[in-house]
Amino acid sequence: MAYTEEELKKELETKEYEYGFYTDIESDTFPAGLNEEIVIAISKRKEEPEWMTLWRLESFKIWKEMVEPEWPNVKYEKPDFQAISYYSAPNSKPKYDSLDEVDPELLDTFNRLGISLDEQKKLAGVAVDIVMDSVSVATTFKKTLAEKGIIFCSISEAIREHPELVKKYIGSVVPQKDNFYAALNSAVFSDGSFCYIPKGVRCPMELSTYFRINQAGTGQFERTLVIADEDSYVSYLEGCTAPSRDENQLHAAVVELIALDGAEIKYSTVQNWFPGNKEGKGGVYNFVTKRGICEKNAKISWTQVETGSAVTWKYPSCILKGDNSIGEFYSVAVTNNHQQADTGTKMIHLGKNTKSTIISKGISAGKSQNSYRGLVQVSSRAENARNFSQCDSLLMGNDCGAHAFPYIEVKNKSAMIEHEATTSKIGEDQIFYCNQRGIDTEKAIALIVNGFSKEVLNKLPMEFAVEAQKLLEISLEGSVG
C-alpha cells in the first residue's frame, strides 16, 4: 500500500489514543465509492448466493432514495459516502484451524488490545469470534457450542452454511428501509456475527465478539443476527476498540435479535471507539441500529456502556410483540471533550401484559453534549402494559450539556407508565468531602461515577463489569479540577 507524505504525517500525529496503532497487514481494499457494481462485488467476494446479492441491491436502491436524518441532537460534518471504501479484508488466508495459522502481526495486535485468546478461553469461559476489519479471522470454542447445537459464526459463513435461517430472519426486525444507515448497512455490510440457540438450550458460556476498525477510510458495516429459539437463553457480549485516524470513520452497524416464545437474550455492549482528540478532531461516527423482537413470554435485555465515538446515534430497542414479554434497557453513556451522544431506546408494547424498564445514566464532561432520546409506545391492543423509565444525568464542569427527549405514546387506557429523571453535578463539595477522607480527586470521581452508574454496571457479566468500571475511570481522567 502506498502512503502519501501527508497520510504518514497524519498517522504520526494521532498517537494519543491508547489503542491507536495501525496494523500493517497486506489488505485487499476496494476503491472508494458506492454503486451497484461495488455492491455486487462485495457479495461476490463473500461467495454469497444470489438471493443475498439481490437483497443487497434492493437495499442499495432504497438507500439511494433516502436522506441522512437531521433530527438527532448532534452536529457533525456529513460523511461523503463516495469517498469511503466499502470493502477491506485482511489478505491472509481467511480461515484457520488453529491460532498458529493466524498472521502473527494480527495476533500481536490482539495482544496489545489485551485480548489474549487463550486466557479468555481458559479464564472467562468466553468463546471469542473476532472481527478484524471485515473478515472473521478466528473462531474458537466452536466445538463445545456445536455439541449443544449452537451456531456461532460470522454472518458470511451463516449465509453460506445456514441460508434458511438467515433468509428467514435477516431484515425481519430492522427492515432495509428502516432508516438511512440501516439501508446502507443492508447494501454493503461486510461481516458480523451470527448466533442461533436451539429450542430449550441454555448457552453454557457468554458469547463474545470484538470489533475493530483497521484500514484508514474504510467504514465498518457490521451485521449481527442473534436468534434464540423457544425457551432458550443466551448472553452475548460485544466490545469495541478502534485505532485512531485523523479523518472521521463511519461505523453503521445493524444488530437484530429474535427471541422466540419463552426465550431470553441478554445483549451487553462496552463501546470504546476512538472519540477524537481533545480538540474534537477525528473520532468515529457511530450510527447504529439495534433492535430486538420478543415473542410470547420472551425477554430481551440490552445493557450498554458507551464511552467512545465522536458522534453516537444509537437506540437499542425492543418490540414486545408477544403477550407477557419483557424488554429492558440499561445504559451508561459517557461523553468527554467534544464528544456528542444521542442515545436511548424504544419500547414498543404490542402484546398484553408486556413490561419494559429503562434505566439511562448519562455522564457529561468537558465540552460534550449528551442526549437521552426514548420512546415508550403502547398500542391499543396492549392491555396492562407497564413501563418504568429513569433517566439520570451527571454533569462535570460548566461547559457540557445533558438533554432528555422522552416520548410517550399510549393508546390503551390500562397502561401504566412511570418516568423519573434527575440531573446532578459532581460538586466541589463532594470532591472535597472525599479528599478530606483521604481519597484523592481522581479516585473520588471514579467512586462518584461508579456509584451513579451502579444500577447499570450491576447488569453486566462480572468480567465485563470490571472492564467497564476501568473504562469509565479512564474516560473521565482529568475532567475535574
Partner 1 sequence: MLKIKNLHANIDGKEILNGIDLTVNAGEVHAIMGPNGSGKSTLASVIAGKEDFEVTEGEITMDNESIIEDSPEERAHKGIFLSFQYPVEIPGVSVTNFIKTSINESRKAQGLEEMGAKDMLKLLREKSELLGIDRKFLSRSLNEGFSGGEKKRNEIFQMAMLEPKLAILDETDSGLDIDALRVVANGVNTLKTKDNAVILITHYQRLLEYIVPDYVHVLHNGKIVKSGTKELALELEEKGYDWLKPESVV
- Which parts of this chain interact with partner 1 (CB under 8 A)? 424, 427-430, 432-440, 443, 447-448, 450-455
- Judged by beta carbon, residue 277 or residue 389, the one nearer partner 1 is 389
What phi and psi, each to the nearest 5 degrees, are found at residue 104?
-60, -30
Q: How many whole angstroms separate alpha carbon 293 and alpha carbon 297?
A: 11
Q: How many whole angstroms separate alpha carbon 224 and alpha carbon 270?
A: 16
- DSSP 3-state of 445: helix
Residue of 357, 333, 329 whose CA lies nearest to 343: 333
Q: How far is CA 142 from CA 122, 153, 230, in A?
A: 14, 8, 22
**Rounded least distance, CB 177 to partner 1, Å:** 42
Q: How many whole angstroms separate alpha carbon 225 and alpha carbon 165?
A: 10
For residue 47, give the C-alpha cell.
461467495
- Judged by beta carbon, residue 70 or residue 429, the one nearer partner 1 is 429
**Rounded least distance, CB 356 to partner 1, Å:** 23
- Judged by beta carbon, residue 31 or residue 438, the one nearer partner 1 is 438
Three-class SS of 8-29:
HHHHHHCCCCCCCCCCCCCEEE
Residues in the chain: 481
- Judged by beta carbon, residue 242 or residue 449, the one nearer partner 1 is 449
Q: How many whole angstroms separate alpha carbon 88 and alpha carbon 217?
A: 10
- Judged by beta carbon, residue 84 or residue 444, the one nearer partner 1 is 444
- Judged by beta carbon, residue 69 or residue 427, the one nearer partner 1 is 427
**Rounded least distance, CB 458 to partner 1, Å:** 10
For residue 232, give the C-alpha cell.
432458550
- Judged by beta carbon, residue 315 or residue 452, the one nearer partner 1 is 452
Q: How many whole angstroms separate alpha carbon 303 and alpha carbon 222?
A: 19
- Judged by beta carbon, residue 347 or residue 391, the one nearer partner 1 is 391
DSSP 32: B
Q: How many whole angstroms separate alpha carbon 325 and alpha carbon 228?
A: 14
* Bridge partners, 164 (sequence order): none
With 0-12 CB in 10 A as exposed, 13-18 as middle and 19+ as buried, what is 57?
middle
- Judged by beta carbon, residue 338 or residue 361, the one nearer partner 1 is 361
**Rounded least distance, CB 339 to partner 1, Å:** 23
Helix (H) or strand (E) holding 106: helix 104-112
Q: How many whole angstroms separate alpha carbon 262 and alpha carbon 202?
A: 12
Q: How many whole angstroms separate alpha carbon 129 and alpha carbon 359?
A: 29
- Inter-residue contact 457 to 305 (CB < 8 Å): yes
Strand duo 264-272 + 311-314: pairing: unpaired
**Rounded least distance, CB 337 to partner 1, Å:** 24
**Rounded least distance, CB 432 to partner 1, Å:** 6
- Judged by beta carbon, residue 51 or residue 433, the one nearer partner 1 is 433
**Rounded least distance, CB 429 to partner 1, Å:** 5
Q: How many whole angstroms separate alpha carbon 365 and alpha carbon 399?
A: 8
- Judged by beta carbon, residue 227 or residue 402, the one nearer partner 1 is 402
**Rounded least distance, CB 357 to partner 1, Å:** 17
**Rounded least distance, CB 358 to partner 1, Å:** 18
**Rounded least distance, CB 238 to partner 1, Å:** 25
**Rounded least distance, CB 452 to partner 1, Å:** 5
